[in-house]
Structure 1
Amino acid sequence: MKDELNYVKRSQRDYSMSLKLQIVSEIEKGNISITQTRKQYGIQSHATVLNWLRKFGNFDWENQNPTQMAKTPEQKIMELEAQVKLLEKQKALLERQAFVADKKAILFDMMIDLAEKEYHIDIRKNSAPEQSATSNKKNNKQ
């Protein structure tokens, strides 16, 4: 007698709503594929997962297009306010970085001036740099 596999027929009601939503979210984020999901959670049918994606997901799996649910004005305002806060934070960070960069440039300029005076050498070059022998050969071949 052959070893029989323990086959248990399940329906979609056997899976909790939270599990369905978690699976849909993970697939839509690209963290896991449908096949991996089936293996990991013991889901027997590919169609079961597709049904959950159609019912609970934000992606049109038949036409392969994201579906945009209409947002209420309040949702739009909240999203825009969050974007404004993020942009304000980014602006403040960039302003601080620019301020530090300006101070560094002034400091480096002062250091070069001091080194030029102390050692009586020209660190800054006022003329175009001379080409090396190898780059002259390359330019002559062209």
Structure 2
Amino acid sequence: MENLEEIRYIKRTQKDYSMSLKLEIVNEIETGKVTISESTKKYGIQSRKTVVEWLRKFGNFDWDNQTPLNMSKSPEQKIMELEAQVKLLEKQKAFLEQQAFVADKKAIIFDMMIDIAEQEYKIDIRKNLPPEQSTNLKKKNNKQ
């Protein structure tokens, strides 16, 4: 009998609880499979408050307004959320367009720098040799 009691209840610390365990417990409570008290006994959690905190953090219940988060919203609320989302996307688009503009300018400047270096030092910087030519050059360099 003593072994069963030791196996059933193991004193744990906060560090022992993985995120998957927390989410599993929250899901079981929200679906009605177990109560908070049953889950504390089942998983060896010392305090009911710990489970309640997980429900507040990871659950589908809005504790401030005392309503489920998946409750339907009014058309006005949906419109306001969509307008906020549109504004955010417009800001992101403007930022990305600015980054693309700067990247294009940098590419132009780098091309100009290469052109100037080619003229100044009379070398082909952009020269791309076909594979067979590059191996021939290596052979010549090895012979010398």
The two structures have a TM-score, normalised by structure 2, of 0.47
Relative contact order (alpha carbons < 8 A, sep ≥ 6): 1 or 2 greater? Answer: 2
The two structures have a TM-score, normalised by structure 1, of 0.48
Which has the larger helix fraction?
Answer: 2
